[in-house]
Amino acid sequence: MVDDTLSFLLIAIVTGGGISSVFTISSSIAAKTNHPGMLLPVLTFPLIVPLLLIGVKASKKATDGLGFMTSFPDVLILLLMNILIVVLGVLLVKFIWKE
């Protein structure tokens, strides 16, 4: 059972947001190549590993009920990475879709 439901939810939202924004960019890159189905997991997996590792560690802390302050640095880093990925994605997506 999850002890600290609120911070678990927060971590889940932040990690999920990061993973989905990485997938948005890398799938738009993969869609333009010759083998999109094969290339998508290869391009995306290494990019989501840092998000997954930090997210899993933080949600473990939330599950054990160690309090929000223990997982706060992880949430902060996840948020910063989210901002980085979204900003890069917004800046780069017009170069991917330009024909």
Binding site for another protein (CB under 8 A): 25-26, 29, 32-35, 39, 42-43, 45-47, 49-50, 53-54, 57, 73-74, 77, 81, 84-85, 88-89, 92, 95-96, 98
Please report how close the Cβ of residue 37 comes to another protein at its closest, in angstroms.
11
Cβ–Cβ under 8 Å, residues 25 and 87: no
Cα dihedral value 79, 29, 94, 13, nearest 10: -20
Nearest residue (CB) to another protein, 13 versus 42: 42
